[in-house]
A = this chain, B = another copy of it.
Amino acid sequence: MGSLHALDISMMFFAVGTLLVLARLFGEVARHLGQPTIVGEIVAGIVLGPTCLGAIFPAVGHAIFPLSGPVANVREGLSVLAAALFLLMAGLEVDLGSVWRQGRAALSVSVAGMAIPFGVGFGSAWLVPRWLGHQPVTPLFGFALFLGTAMSISALPVIARTLRDLDVFQTDLGMLIVASAVLQDLVGWMIFAIVLGTLGGEGRIFSPGATVAFVLIFAVVMIAGVRRVVDGSLPWIHAHTSWPAGVLAFTLSLALLAAGFTEWIGVHAIFGAFLVGVAIGDSRHLRRRTMAVVDDFVSSFFAPLFFAGIGLKLDFVAHFDLGLVLFVLITASAGKILGSVLGARAGGLGTRESWAVGFGMNARGAMEIILGLSALEARVIDERLFVALVVMAVLTSLASGSLVKNVLRRHTPCRLVDHLPARAFVPDLGDTTRRAAIERLAAALGAASGLNAKEVFAAAWAREELMPTGLGERVATPHARLPGVTRPAVALGVSSRGIDFDAPDGKPAQLIFLVVTGSGDERGHLEILADIARLFRSATLRQAAVAAPSGTELLALLRSGPALLEDGAEGDNRK
């Protein structure tokens, strides 16, 4: 019956399972280091691919991740599907309205921010095609067009996440950066589609001219026609089909059919999926919950498979060419930053904001990698240039956040969950005195984070005697400011009967947070206190925290607090 044998099927499961678990592990490591998850996912693939595993244990690598045959077909099919769904998600985030609202400034940033890096890329391709890896089978014009596009594309999803992290997404500056990125993405993908269209390839059905015509017609139909039809259909779908299965099936199947269509006319499938995302994402009737489901779906399963899958395709060490990497990194960044800054200045922005726009737009992230991979598979570029593009995409994404942060003098607020070690949780302070409670918490914090427990206690108790730290609502926050402490550290003690901290509402404290910060770190101190106040405003979370049996369960609670609250009271968190 089937064309896959049992061994093929088991290898497919091993491959997908291994990719998924390693991508997540490395992704979490990246996140803990303050870097985007995608970096970890790519590294996971490099570890599992010919660069590491394949080089050390070639037999294992070939068995689980073969390069041809039915299992390779399945993995490749999944990977193409994943790329299309990722671009669908990117398209859903596009808000065409914001482009109009930003008007002239967005246009100015987009045009200059694309034209200059495009010119740099296009020019380099003409000047040193051989060194950049131009293949004789590809027309030089197409290669130059591609390199221009690769230099000038931006990564809307990465940019949006950076801006959200820095809390500038909803500001005028944030919306301007997003609007410019949207315009650039639209234009960039159009140009790339046309590049692919103009290249001859095996199994082509249409002439390059017909492909380009189809691309333009398709884009116009999607943005002008389908967008409105979708906006009119969504209420009907919500009214007459089961929720959310109906709207999900509509979104996914429309994206897949459009992807099939664009692939069929001779450009990449992701182009169709992206435009469907734009058409649907623009509707007023799209619900946030629909986006959340697609997001969970794609980010937890398809995106890790895709990005880890890249590392399986080639040996990153063998194809690493330092000169080329530096050249691509420097020309791409210089062109993009310069172009965007000039565009922003011309659009009327101040110096500081213009540099923020430039650094923000320079993140290339997933988009660059998907573009590069498509070009590699269409044989427009070689492995060396592909590796250089991946490295450039990763490094520009890593740098973007901290550069924007510095230039705007923005700061990511400290969160309690990042400064409370699991071992600094004392679930049973019992019925003790204020002094004894602070002493036990200081000892716990000393053991968990290497601070001097005696110093902590002395400072916190001196402060407490000056003025008691009961906040009310059964929360108290004794604290100490110590010289030489570089990072805030918090211990949490629970007393179910409560300990009197002289709170304004007279209630004894059940949750006692001992907060230790550096003497000069006024900001860290206030941010931790604000985070405690914000989180424990919720009575449900307070009760759940008092009942938490261990520090790990407490952290679990804090990290997914909103999700837990949705589940209703604790104890009922099973279906």
- List residues of chain B with CB within 8 A of the CB of A266: 6
State the oligomeric state as a number of copies. 2
Tell me if A17 and B253 are in contact (CB < 8 A): yes
Interface residue from B7, B18, B238, B242 paired with A264 (Cβ < 8 Å): B7
Map CB proximity to B onto A1-25 as digits: 1 under 8 Å, 0 otherwise. Answer: 1111111011111101110110110
Interface residue from B68, B234, B241, B422 paired with A239 (Cβ < 8 Å): B422
Tell me if B28 and A257 are in contact (CB < 8 A): no
Q: A190 at interface (Cβ–Cβ under 8 A)?
A: no
Tell me if B6 and A203 are in contact (CB < 8 A): yes
Chain A residues 535 to 575 lying within 8 A of chain B, measured CB to CB, are: 550, 552-557, 559-560, 563-564, 566-567, 573-575
- List residues of chain B with CB within 8 A of the CB of A31: 242
Q: A119 at interface (Cβ–Cβ under 8 A)?
A: no
Tell me if A552 and B93 are in contact (CB < 8 A): no
Interface hit among A147-155, A220-228, A292-300, A392-400? A292-300
Interface hit among A281-289, A323-331, A340-348, A488-496? A281-289
- List residues of chain B with CB within 8 A of the CB of A248: 296, 300-301
Q: A78 at interface (Cβ–Cβ under 8 A)?
A: yes
Tell me if B93 and A575 are in contact (CB < 8 A): yes
Tell me if B10 and A252 are in contact (CB < 8 A): no
Cα separation A31 to B10 with both chains bound (whole Å): 35
Given A2-B76, A3-B76, A74-B73, CB of A13 within 8 Å of CB of B560: no
Interface residue from B3, B14, B287, B559 paired with A257 (Cβ < 8 Å): B14
Cα separation A567 to B566 with both chains bound (whole Å): 12
Q: A521 at interface (Cβ–Cβ under 8 A)?
A: no
Tell me if B236 and A76 are in contact (CB < 8 A): no
- List residues of chain B with CB within 8 A of the CB of A263: 6, 9-10, 13
- List residues of chain B with CB within 8 A of the CB of A74: 73-74, 76-78
Q: A459 at interface (Cβ–Cβ under 8 A)?
A: no
A265: nearest residue on chain B (CB-CB)? B10
Tell me if A244 and B563 are in contact (CB < 8 A): yes
Tell me if A297 and B299 are in contact (CB < 8 A): no
Tell me if B14 and A304 are in contact (CB < 8 A): no
Tell me if A28 and B246 are in contact (CB < 8 A): yes
A232: nearest residue on chain B (CB-CB)? B552
Map CB proximity to B onto A30-47 as digits: 1 under 8 Å, 0 otherwise. Answer: 010000010000000000
Q: A177 at interface (Cβ–Cβ under 8 A)?
A: no
How far apart are A112's CB and chain B's nearest CB, in angstroms?
A: 29
Tell me if A239 and B376 are in contact (CB < 8 A): no
A202: nearest residue on chain B (CB-CB)? B5
Interface residue from B23, B289, B564, B575 paired with A567 (Cβ < 8 Å): B289
Q: A261 at interface (Cβ–Cβ under 8 A)?
A: yes
Tell me if A260 and B1 are in contact (CB < 8 A): no
- List residues of chain B with CB within 8 A of the CB of A14: 256-257, 260, 264
Chain A residues 462 to 491 lying within 8 A of chain B, measured CB to CB, are: none
Q: A245 at interface (Cβ–Cβ under 8 A)?
A: yes
A70: nearest residue on chain B (CB-CB)? B73
Q: A240 at interface (Cβ–Cβ under 8 A)?
A: yes
- List residues of chain B with CB within 8 A of the CB of A236: 552, 556
Tell me if B250 and A24 are in contact (CB < 8 A): yes
Q: A506 at interface (Cβ–Cβ under 8 A)?
A: no
Tell me if A241 and B24 are in contact (CB < 8 A): yes
Tell me if B7 and A203 are in contact (CB < 8 A): yes
How far apart are A192's CB and chain B's nearest CB, in angstroms?
A: 15
Tell me if B10 and A253 are in contact (CB < 8 A): no
How far apart are A179's CB and chain B's nearest CB, in angstroms?
A: 15
Cα separation A30 to B237 with both chains bound (whole Å): 16
Chain A residues 276 to 319 lying within 8 A of chain B, measured CB to CB, are: 284-289, 291, 293, 296-297, 299-301, 304, 313
Among A4, A17, A18, A293, chain B packs the most CB atoms within 10 A around the CB of A17
Q: A201 at interface (Cβ–Cβ under 8 A)?
A: yes
Chain A residues 28 to 87 lying within 8 A of chain B, measured CB to CB, are: 28, 31, 37, 68-74, 76-78, 80-81, 84
Tell me if B249 and A574 are in contact (CB < 8 A): no
Which 7 residue pairs spanning A and B have beta carbons closest together?
A13-B260, A74-B77, A238-B556, A239-B555, A17-B256, A24-B249, A10-B263
Q: Provide 5 A-B residue pairs closer than 8 Å at the C-beta atoms, listed in order of the A residue.
A: A6-B266, A12-B77, A21-B253, A238-B553, A248-B300
Query: 16 more A-B contacts (CB under 8 A) besides A286-B575, A289-B566?
Result: A1-B313, A1-B379, A9-B269, A12-B77, A17-B252, A20-B253, A21-B253, A21-B254, A24-B249, A28-B246, A238-B555, A239-B556, A240-B555, A248-B296, A286-B574, A289-B563
